[in-house]
Amino acid sequence: MKIKVCIFVAMFVFMFSLSAVAQTTLKSTIDDQTSVEVTVYNSNLGLVKDVRKITLPQGEGELRFMDVASYIMPVTVHAISLNAPDKFSVLEQNYEYDLMDANKLLDKYVGKNIKIIDWNQYQDRKETVDAELLSNNNGQIYKINNEIYLGHPGYKVLPEIPENLIAKPTLTWLYDNSSKASHDIEVSYLTSNISWKADYVLLINQDDTKSDLSGWVSLDNRSGTTYKDAKLKLVAGEVNRAKDKMQYMDYEVRSPSLSGSREQFQEKAFFEYHIYDLQRKTTIKNNQTKQVSLLEAKNIKIEKEFLVYGIRTWYTRQYMENLPKQPVNVYIKFKNEKNNNLGMPLPAGVMRLYKEDDAKSLQFIGEDKIEHTPKDEEIKLKVGEAFDIVCERKQTDFKQITTRLYETEWEVTLRNHKEEAVIVGIIEPLYGNWKVISNSHPYDKVDAFTVRFDVKVPKDGEVKVKYRVRVGLE
């Protein structure tokens, strides 16, 4: 009989110990991390792949996967064991966002006793009061010595931190494990508040015919965590995002070399986007803006262009007085092609232009935004407005032939005060059924509703461009 009782007790203790093991809550922190990869998009979005080596008891248990991004999108989480995928699975997942702060701590102690320490200035000593916290809704209500206090001065002292409050964003899993060995668990998820943009510097030579281009990636991490020794990839392009849900996306990338002096990034077309893969690891700290060299290119052929733009509504109205002087816009343009020492997809960003003055001091001369630009496409940058080129426009004749047919004549005067001759392009937007009846200078038909005059203006000279247009409204 005693033997049976001993066996029963032993079996009970064994089963109890197994149950205790199964109910033990394990924690995994960044110390378990073996690798991390971060793919960052232009649209304030990042894809994180966090691999950690974790040893788990067999059976079901609870695991707290800590040190994830504060702005994680929980519905995008995907966890898998890389070395034993059929022996590990996540049965349930909770995202613990009930993070610690003073109000939440007090909420957990409603109906419980706490201590309040206050300084008695009259007796010059600390006083400790035992109080029961009755409410923490729009202020604290205490019960002290059978009296109700609506608030109370002093520091509130709690005996301990409640178990259901955590200091960091955490994924809590109910898992099932059948492996005795450690798992290499890869956790992938999307997070917001991380983004990147491209910034470029274009250094123009003295005669405005060639330039050197350098590009930088500016990475801004506000996601709420640090990615140590991360493999970094950047995606250039407009990724569509659903309004009401976000599906997990896993991108596998193969990237060839981007033409640059350091070859820090390798670039590859991927789906309808382009990926730039940093060829070394880097640490991306939380609340940090990091800049990494993207590309360098030398001796790029450029063209400077002076343009004046008309307005479509000018051709159906009569102007009794001369119009104000028009700005003469200055543009720099170049081809993004291999024959021009480029020929690589350029991510959208701001391109800033610099040039040396006579004292060899570098000066800023303007900036403009570029869109995502594929290879072999032209880049055109507005630098500013010309100081020494003047444009005046006046209407010399106007006729309204019918209620929907107009005829108007214009004179555009260009004056050049520079030390060399320049070519100024006059862009005239038309509409309806139009026809140029007469013109003093030749023009090109740019498209169905635009004509362009390219006029050479000698140094310290003046040129008048005259033309007459008939416009019929449809």
pLDDT of 243: 61
Give the tens place of pLDDT for each residue, 208-241: 999 999 999 999 999 989 999 999 999 887 777 7
Over 90: is that where the pLDDT of 386 sits? yes
Q: Which range among 21-25, 325-329, 371-375, 382-386 shows the weakest confidence by mean pLDDT?
A: 21-25
pLDDT at 457 over 80: yes
Cα(289)–Cα(241) distance, integer angstroms: 25
Most confident stretch, 115-124, 164-173, 415-424? 415-424
Looking at residue 263, its pLDDT comes to 60
pTM of the full structure: 0.70
- Per-residue pLDDT tens for 266-297? 777 777 777 888 889 999 999 999 998 888 99
- Identify which of 158, 154, 160 has the alpha carbon closest to the alpha carbon of residue 117: 154
Positive/negative CA dihedral, 179, 184, 185, 186? negative
**Quick one: average pLDDT of 189-205?**
94
Q: Is the pLDDT of residue 387 over 80?
A: yes
Report residue 158's pLDDT band, with 50, 70 and 90 as the boundaries: confident
Smallest CA-to-CA distance from 272 within 223, 236, 246, 243 is with 236
Q: Are 414 and 390 in contact (CB under 8 A)?
A: yes
- Specify whether domain 303-472 bears CATH 3.30.1490: no
Lowest mean pLDDT among 79-83, 107-111, 375-379: 107-111
Residues 6+ apart with CB under 8 A from 14: none
Query: Residue 431: which pLDDT band, with cuts at 50, 70 and 90?
Result: confident
The CA distance from 41 to 192, in Å, is 10
Band of pLDDT at residue 13, cut at 50, 70 and 90: very low
Give the pLDDT mean for 414-441.
95
Cα(395)–Cα(382) distance, rounded to whole angstroms?
A: 28
pLDDT of residue 278: 87
pLDDT at 6 over 80: no
pLDDT digits (tens, 9 = 90+) for 295-311: 899 999 999 999 999 98
Whether the Cβ atoms of residue 249 and residue 91 lie closer than 8 Å to each other: no
Structure tokens at 311: 């307005």
What are the start and end residues of each CATH 2.60.40 domain in the chain?
25-99+166-194+222-286, 303-472
Exposed/middle/buried for residue 244 (C-beta within 10 Å: 0-12, 13-18, 19+): exposed
Q: Is residue 413's pLDDT more than 80?
A: yes
- Per-residue pLDDT, 120: 74
Q: Is the confidence at residue 165, as pLDDT, over 90?
A: no
The hierarchical CATH code for the domain 25-99+166-194+222-286 is: 2.60.40
pLDDT over 70 at 385, yes or no: yes
pLDDT on residue 182: 95
Task: Report the pLDDT value the prediction gives residue 410, as an integer from 0 to 100.
Answer: 94
**Range of lowest pLDDT (130-144, 161-175, 321-335, 424-438):** 161-175
| Cα distance between residue 132 and residue 143, in whole Å | 5
Q: Is 225 exposed, middle or buried (0-12, 13-18, 19+ CB in 10 A)?
A: buried
Does residue 129 carry a pLDDT above 60? yes
Tokens read off for 372: 């995502």
**In the chain, pLDDT over 70 holds for what percent of residues?**
88
Confidence of residue 166 (pLDDT cuts 50, 70, 90): low
Average pLDDT over residues 437-445: 96
Residue 246, pLDDT above cutoff 50: no
* 89 pLDDT above the threshold of 60: yes
**Half-sphere exposure for 372 (CA within 13 Å, toward CB):** 13
